[in-house]
Amino acid sequence: DGQVYAMKKVDLSFLSKKEKDMALNEIRILASIKHENVVAYKEAFFDPKDRKLCIVMEMADSGDLQSKINKAREINSFIKESKILYIFKQLLLGLAALHRDKIVHRDLKCANVFLTKRGGVKLGDLNVSKVLKEGLMRTKTGTPFYCPPEIWQDKPYSSKCDVWSLGCVIYELASLKTPFQAESMAQLHKNIVSGSYESIPQ
């Protein structure tokens, strides 16, 4: 159709059953969501030649949010507040779409927010997402710096964990660093559970 797509290749031959299930879960979830703020799934196929599962999805032609933050940090230039608010709104809409279908992202972070040259902001990389069927979940997952206290404390959690992670993303956009800083996992655990973080620069 003349469009350029992104393709994620998953080598199934070296994956555990759990990892294979995660890859297939990503396909199932992506296929079920149709929203402008969620990366669109196109198709998937198994390549028998290299024994890899190929997942074809919408191309985000302007990289990811983490790259944008890294660039701003390199030149010591804060991102404009109006831009942060725009990204915040788009991510809220994307999360609302997931949560309406009882889907929890569970790994929302700047590297999983994709941008387009037309100003699009899209949630992607749903490989650890889960359809919320029983209200609360217990599986420990996600990226440590963005995980809410419930996950660190091995407590049941819900879609609210995505809202916490979104707050961490917005903090990082505003300050060019993650809200919870630590030199060890034990200290990171303590800081997140106690809510210990620096104020966003004015």
Which residues participate in catalysis according to the annotation? 107
| Residue entry with tokens 């569970």 | 106
Contact predicate 129/95, CB 8 Å: no
Question: How far apart (Å, rounded) are the C-alpha atoms in residues 88 and 167?
Answer: 9
